[in-house]
Structure formats: structure tokens, C-alpha cells
Structure 1
Amino acid sequence: MLVLDTNDLRVGDRTAAFEAVAAGEGGISRVQEEETEDGVRKRLELWRLGPLTLFHTQGTGVRISRSLRQARRDAMDTVAINIHRRGVGGFVWADHQRRIGPNSASMQHMPGGYEYWWSGVGSTLAMMFDTERLGLPEGTIRASIPTLEHSPVGQLLIHHVLGVHRIADQIDMRPEADAIASATVELVRAWVVSVAGDDPTRRAVARETLLTRVLAYARAHLREPDLTPERIAWAHNTSVRTLYRLCDDGGVSLEKWIIRRRLEGARADLAAPGHAHRTIEAIARSWGFTNPPFFSRRFRRTYGTTPSQWRRLSQQGRLLPPRDGL
């Protein structure tokens, strides 16, 4: 949902407008805009996904901060996850300073204050939620912040958040948003404890979040034909038998889950004007389907129409509701 587009405002009012929104929605105490010949430009979108708030901010260079003084003055106890999308920037938390580039993730614990910036034209995705939802000691959370960039779980989290952003308009304020928010928080938990050292908290959270990490890994590699249970088990340092037991306990059929997500991706591409020049077989192959008859059968069983019929109907603007079966 669009909250602010400074192109609709007079040049002299743009900074104050962005400061007001940033303070009200993000708990930011100071905004310092970068000087440009064309003036300040900002576009801010916001979605409420259950207990999680997702922001997308883009525009000219800016330095935003939350001071320790403000952190002590209010009762805002949240964590913020930033996925830096465009431009060169950086962030400061306590004594830790880090330069960041596109598709890098960082975390701030709001009671500790922070500073975040980019120069030139840039953009960022940010999530905020209450710290208590992580279910982790405050010391563990704070100690992890300087070393999170070294965690392989960070790439899973980035891919997940980008996927949530792509469907944010469809799930904003809807019941399924709670489940997606829970999965997101679980990935953040896994991210934090992955750099926490070999202690009981890390081992416990690793067990609790394994299914979430497995599904995030599978989603990140959906387009690869060799995404097999053996590969997924190896990537998570477990056996195939344990992997299947984990999925069964979580009520997930791994093969069906992967096929359904791939079908969803292929279905969207078949309906997209930007993919109209591609053959159905090429689109299916790009989503991991190497057997065209298998793809057609599964597509028809799931959506009640063939891939070619779906493409033709979507081009004519007569989209059919999907069926639930696989």
C-alpha cells in the first residue's frame, strides 16, 4: 500500500513529509537527506502482515537514525530487518559499522538505537516486529548483530523476504498473513542463533526451525531440476529419513509442496505478458519441469485447464479460479 510519494508534493515540503511518516511508522528520530540538484524524492509503501510490518522505501540518498536518547524515552522494543536492495550504504549499531551493497541483510534492535544510510538513488525493504516474538535472550540478539553477515541463513531470509514483498498486496491484512509472518520470524530466529556459538539455545532453535529452513531452501532453489530430497537433506546436514520424518510431523508432503510451488510459478509466467514470447515447454523447464507431459498432467489436475488453455484465457482476460487438488 502506497503511504507516501513525494513527487506529489512541493519540493520544499518533501523532507518534512518523509520525516513525519518515518517517525510515526518506524520510530526514527532523525532524517538527514542527501543534497541533490533535483531535490528530495521518496516513495514509501507499507503492508501489515499480521504481527509484522513490511516497508519498501526508495529514492534519493538519506541517513536515518534512532538515537539512544529516544530509545530510552519510549517503550518501542522491536527488531528491524533491512534488506538493502539498491545503492551503496551502511549501518551503525553500537560500536559496529558496516558497509552494505545490494541484496545484503542487516538487523537492528530498536532499544539500542541505530543509524542506516545510502547515497545516490537507493531502495530498501525493512521488516519490524516485537522482539519478544523471537523468544531469545536479549543478549543473544544483540551479540549476533555484528556477525550476521557471515551466516548462510541470511541468504535464505533475503530470498524469503523478497518473495513476501512480491505478494504483499495480495496478502495484506488477510488471514494467511499471520502464517507467513510466523515463518518469517522463525527464519530470523534461525539467522540469529546460527552465529550464537555452540550453546543449548542454538541447538534448540536449530531443531525448532529446521522445517522452516528446509522449505525456505526449497523455495530458493525451485527452478533447479536437481532439487531432490537427497540434496535438501545434505544441505541441512541431516539424513533423507530424518528429512521425511520432519516433513511428516509438520504435515508437509515435500514432493507435493515443491511441485505446487513450481506450478504456481509456471502458471504466473504463462499469464504474464512479459513471457508471451516464450514457449510453454521453456517456461515449464525454467521451473524445474523436465518432462513436458508430466507438467501438463499436473497443471491440468491442479487448475482444471491445460497450460495452453490457461495462457489463452489469461491473454483474453478470463482467468479461472484454481482448484485445490494435486
Structure 2
Amino acid sequence: MLVLDTAHLPLAERAEAFHAVAAGESGSCSIEQERLDAGMWKRLEVWNFGPLTLFATHGTGMRIWRTPRHARFDSMNSVSVITQSTGAGRFVWNGHQRHVEQHDLVLAHKTAGYEYAWSGPGLSVAFMVDADLLGMPEHLVRAAIPLMSVSNLTPLLLHHIRALHRDADHISADPGAAAVGEATLALTRALVASVSTDRPVRRAVAEETLLPRILAYVRAYLSDPYLTPERIAKVHNISLRSLYRLCEEGGLSLEQWIIRRRLEGARRDLVAPEHAHRSIEAISRSWGFSNPSYFSRRFRQAYGVTPRQWRRFPPAASAG
């Protein structure tokens, strides 16, 4: 949901307007804008997913920082996960510095203070959650901050955040939005625990978050036609029987869940302007459907129209 676009404001008012909205949405902070007198621009979108808030900040470069002093004047004790979808960012915390490219993410704890910046045109997508709702001891969260790049769960959470942002308007309006937020927190807990030296915590969180991690893995490989239950079980070091039991306890059929997610991706791409040059068959293959007839049949069963009808008349198809 769009909350601010400074393009509609006089240049002299843009920085102050952005600061006021950003602080109101995410808490006390200091912000320094790039190109303040030569076309500074920001577009801020915010969505709520139950316990967490997702932010997308587009525009010219800036530097934002939070210190323990900011925290003392703010009731929010939050943890954030920050990504850079466009451009290159820079993260600084307690002497730890790193560049943030499009394949990276960083973890920030508000009371610990941090700085985040980028230069030139950019897009940063981040989510914030109350530290208590994350459910991890503060010392483990802080210890994990400089170790995010070494966890094999980082790509899964990054892919999840990108997918969440891509469909944020649709998902946030869905009755299941809070459940999506809870799944995101589970992945974040698993990521923090994965770099922890506390073995009991690591083991307990790994067991607690197994299903969200499996579903995140599946989302990341939906386009692979060789994604099978056997492969999923092997990657997560569990038996096929355990995989099916876990999914059943979670209230889902794994095969049907995979097909539904693939259909949703194909339906989105069929009407996306950037995919207008691609054939229906090419789009279906890119979402793991190797048989065009099977894809068309399942698409019609799910949405009441054929892929070709959806592509030609998406509003009418949506109504049906």
C-alpha cells in the first residue's frame, strides 16, 4: 500500500515529509538524503502481514541510522531484515561493515543500533517485527548479525521476501496474511538459530521451523520440473514418510500445494507486460509444467478459464 510519493511534493518539503512518515511507520531514526537539492525522490509502500510489517523504499540514495539513544526515545524494540533489490547498499553495525548486493540480506536489532545506506537509484525491501514476537534471545540475535552471509538459509529467506513483496497487495488483503507473516518469522528464527553456537536452541528451532523451511525451499525451486517429494525429503534429511506426515499435520497436501503455487505464478506471468512476448507454453514450462495439456486442464480447473482466455481477458477471468 502506497503511503508516500514525494514526487507530488515541492522539492524543499520532500526530505522532511519522508522522515516524518518513515519515523511514524518504523520508529525513531535519523535520515540523510542524497541529492537533497537536485531531485531527491522517495516512494514508500507498507504492508501488514499479521505480526510483521513489510516496507519497500524506492528512490534516490539515502543514509538511515538508529542508535541506542533513538531507542530510548522510542517504545519500539524491533528486529528488521533488510534487502536491496535494486542498487547496492551498505550496512554498518558495531564495527561490522558489509556491502549489500541483490543476493544478500542483513539482520538489524534496533536497540543495538545500526546504519543502512545506498547511493544512486535504489529499492530496499525490508520487514520489521517486535523483538518479543520473534521469540529469540536478544544475545543470539545480536550474535547472528555479522553471520548472515554464512547461513545456507539466507537464500531461502531472501527468496521468500522477494516473493512476498512481488505479491504484497494481493497477499496482505488475503485472510491468510497473518499466517504468511508467521511463516516469515519462523524462517527468520531458523536463520538466526542456524548460525548460533547454542546447540539446544539450534536443534529446537530447527524442529519447530521444519515445515516453513520446507515450503520456502519448494517456493525457491517451483520452476524446476524435477522438484519431487523424494528430493525435498532428501535435502531436509528426513524420510519421505516423515515429509508426508509433517505436511498432513500442517493441513496441506504437498503435491497439490506445489501445483497451486505453480499455477499462481503462471497466472501472474500470463498477464504481466514483461512476459507479453512469451508463449503460453514457455510460461507454463518456466513454472515446472512439462505437459501443456496438463497445464491447461489444471489451470481451467483452478480458475474456470483457459490460460489463453485469461491472457486475453484477465478482468473477466478474474470475475469468474
Scaled to the shorter chain, the TM-score interval is: over 0.9
Contact 1:66/1:114 (<8 A) preserved: yes
Does 2:316 match 1:318?
Answer: yes
State whether residues 31 and 63 of structure 1, in contact with CA within 8 Å, keep that contact through their aligned partners in structure 2: yes
Per mean C-alpha deviation after superposition, the further-off stretch among 142-151 and 66-75 is: 66-75
Distance in 1 of aligned mates of 2:166 and 2:138: 31
TM-score (norm 1): 0.92
| Offset at residue 273 of structure 1 (A) | 4.5
Deviation at 1:320, TM superposition (A): 4.2
CA distance in 2 between counterparts of 1:56 and 1:180 reads: 17
Contact 1:270 1:280 in 2 (8 A): yes
Q: Distance in 2 between matches of 1:99 and 1:313?
A: 44
Are the counterparts in 2 of residues 50 and 173 from structure 1 also a CA contact under 8 Å? no
Q: Deviations over 1:292-325 (max 9, x none)?
A: 22222222222233333333433xx422446xxx
Contact 2:28 2:73 (C-alpha < 8 Å) held by counterparts: no
Match of 1:216 in 2: 216
Q: C-alpha displacement at 1:274, in angstroms?
A: 4.1
Deviation at 1:116, TM superposition (A): 0.7
Structure 1: any 5+ residue segments left out of the alignment?
A: none
Q: 2:145 aligned with 1:145, yes or no?
A: yes
Q: What amino acid does structure 2 have at the position aligned with 1:70?
A: H
Any residues of structure 2 matched to 1:191-270 within 5 Å, and which? 191-197=191-197, 199-270=199-270
CA distance in 2, matches of 1:225, 1:174: 28
> 1:250-290 deviations in whole A, cap 9, x for unaligned?
12211111111111122222333443443322221111111
TM-score between both structures, scaled by the size of structure 2:
0.93
Deviation at 1:15, TM superposition (A): 1.4
Post-superposition offset of 1:123: 1.6
Q: What is the aligned partner in structure 2 of residue 56 from structure 1?
A: 56
Cα pair distance change 1:47/1:320, threshold 3 Å: closer
CA displacement 1:70-122 (0-9 Å, x = unmatched): 21333321111101112222111223222212242111111111111111222
1:211–1:246 contact (8 Å) kept in structure 2? yes
Aligned 8 A contact 1:86 1:103 in 2: no
Question: Per-residue deviation at 1:139?
Answer: 1.2
SS class of match (1:278): coil
User: 1:204 and 1:308 mapped to 2: Cα distance?
Assistant: 48
Give 1:5's aligned residue.
5
Using the TM superposition, give the Cα deviation of residue 214 of structure 1 relative to its aligned residue in structure 2, in angstroms.
0.6
- How many angstroms apart in 1 are the aligned matches of 2:292 and 2:223? 15
Q: Distance in 2 between matches of 1:303 and 1:173?
A: 19
Give the total of aligned pairs: 320
Identity of aligned residues (%): 55
- For residues 46 and 6 of structure 1, the distance between their equivalents in structure 2, rounded to whole angstroms, comes to 15
8 Å Cα contact 2:193-2:201 kept in structure 1: yes
Structure 2: how far apart are the matches of 1:273 and 1:35? 32
Q: Which residue of 2 aligns with 1:106?
A: 106
Could you tell me whether the CA contact under 8 Å between 1:85 and 1:104 is conserved in 2?
no
Aligned residue runs from structure 1 range 1-326, under 5 A: 1-35=1-35, 38-172=38-172, 174-197=174-197, 199-314=199-314, 317-321=315-319
CA RMSD of aligned residues (A): 1.9
3-state DSSP of counterpart to 2:87: strand
CA distance in structure 2 between the aligned counterparts of 1:132 and 1:37, rounded to whole angstroms: 41
Q: What secondary structure does 2:317 align onto?
A: coil
Contact 1:48 1:173 in 2 (8 A): no
DSSP-derived class of the 1:319 partner? helix
Greater Cα offset, 41-50 or 299-308: 299-308
